[in-house]
Chains A and B, each alone.
Chain A
């Protein structure tokens, strides 16, 4: 479904992503694992069009999407839950969720009614959000914010979900909860690309994984095999 070929990207200065080729098959969950600063976030941003790649290709459903604006890529079905969540903090929880479904909703008129089915679905999944639906997103706690970010992404009914460091900045107990949600999503047959610094958890929920170090893929394979590979551990602590 998604395929990159020798993708290069970066901000000012050197490339942070130095020629990465990955593949995500329909219905699978693929993890990008690597330490902070390995280039995972840059890769993910390049996939979604938030930064323009310096070289290489991104094929989504067989079409090259390099150079399209992020909003266009989002409309084609790639949904990113960005690192640091990036909620619309002055807006309410419900508005945040509605915005997730923005391309489908009427600009004027009864948008809430149009989206009510999806909203109900999200609120069932995250009851905490239903309780706080009219609260400002910025006033939520870290875990709730992450749930909202996930919820917002689900509202888009994406073909491919990309989660960038969903565990970042959360207490361990909340991290567990997030991973539980991810694995339940995966169970519904959603295609997921997960970028994660916590190798163990990431390898547990994914089918395949790529270990990234300094902008390049250093290891790839099924998650089960990688989990047993001592080199993975090495990539972190050594």
Chain B
């Protein structure tokens, strides 16, 4: 009984403490899959964002209209499931005191859940979900005053870079391999669209699919080989990509493999081993301490979470920068009111110095006919990365300037 009473006391204390503090804090929600298959991305993103927020809180919080307010984080695990994502969105949007949301890894979750934020006008920065549909759904619907922003190199950009890379390497007959998820299929569609844009220069010899969990890609690769593919353009996540790389090696099928940014995740690089060497992918961030801008972030992350390598560096860096941008927007808005934050995100006055770049007005006023208005990344601040002996390096060393750079002017 005594134990029970003390537990009750703890419970009451937590209830009261949160409500008492509520007035002096900015509440930000972070959502994403923190368990299950896409958890490495979700957790890295969350931890990156939390790192940024911890730094802000250490410096006394955000100056909101002259008052120093600390940031309080509400975490919700959407498990990468659409239904759960919708409920999380409903929960957050009905909490009433949430200023903004950062998160979402799975495009499907964005498609089911984001409408609840839009209804309430709550600002959300999507990162690192790159599927095109999560923004195009709003342009198709013609939504005005959209509070959804994206902070990730969306698949349109990535697909374009991948196709351009293939052309640059002289591979005009390509095979497209993709996983059977929303991510893979929409990546496939983006690739096909970009290849179309090249006006018949590139020929797709075969399109093959693989399921999550498939470890034997012999069938797909044999077909690609038989069709005479000169390059493999691939869209998928993690271990399956590694299976393709090892399968290629096994069949002695030596053609370049180019794909989405997920090829930089450790679950691909470590698993593929030597077979992964030479694989190319667009990158917004590389976990390379020789890049001066990235070094403090990388070191802080390693220290804070006791790791020697970030599970998904791109997600972590994007989460970090997104949180910084959000904090700046809240400061500039001078209130925790979502519509104010949306407006100031669309018109950021001060360049935010992030670990990826100096972000100067990354977004502009939403125009349903141009999704780019709410997309932060451009072709210019994305580089091609290459796997080399277990690390991602720049495919083109001259690109280093992009990652160092202080660019991004509109």
Whether A and B touch directly in their complex, counting CB atoms under 8 A apart, is answered as: no
**Chain A residues engaging chain B, CB cutoff 8 angstroms:** none
**Chain B residues engaging chain A, CB cutoff 8 angstroms:** none
